[in-house]
Amino acid sequence: MSEVREQWKAIIKVFIAFICGCLYAWAGTEYLGLWARRFLAPGIAVVSMFIFTNDWKVFITLPFWMGALSLGYGADTTGLKIFKRLVFGSANGVASSIYNTCRKKWLLVGYQIGLLCCVYCLFGVFNPLPNARHEELFLGFMVFLIPILSAEKK
């Protein structure tokens, strides 16, 4: 496959991850309900991964991803916030890495779990961004980026 075609595929994958991140961020606002984060965003991600892989195993990821995105992560104390964000990041890292685990892409699995644990704690608890809307968009994008980018035919 040509480099130009590969570049366009990568751009499309990043755009899909961005759309899923937007749905993640909009969920919970008065604009969209939590169903967009819990069901629509992972559904779009998994269908797009199937299109890029043509492998039915990607659908194994869907119920786990939906379950992980349904976990709560809010708290009143910093210690509890960190703990809940670590659990949420770990659960989403594992759930979003199931297809890469099936393909024995261990480095991507490790990166995804570690990345989500770090960003959920750093951005979710100590948010250096201007506000919570920016934070949720960034976190949602990070949940979907590696799994979608790594979707390739064997």
Q: How far is CA 24 from the centre of its chain?
A: 9
pLDDT tens string for the chain (154 positions)?
A: 699 999 999 999 999 999 999 999 999 787 888 899 999 999 999 999 999 999 999 999 999 999 999 998 888 899 999 999 999 999 999 999 999 999 999 999 999 999 999 999 999 888 888 988 999 999 999 999 999 999 998 7
What CA–CA distance (Å, rounded) separates 18 from 20? 5
- Whether 85 is covered by a domain: the verdict is yes
The answer as to whether 125 is a domain residue is yes
Structural domain harbouring 75: 3-149
Calculate the CA 19 to chain-centre distance.
11
How many domains is the chain partitioned into structurally? 1
Q: Indicate whether 56 belongs to any domain.
A: yes
CA-based nearest residue to 120, from 12, 20, 24, 19: 24
Distance between CA atoms of residues 87 and 34, nearest Å: 19
Which among 41, 35, 40, 60 is positioned nearest to 50, based on CA atoms?
Answer: 60
Residue 154 lies in a domain: no
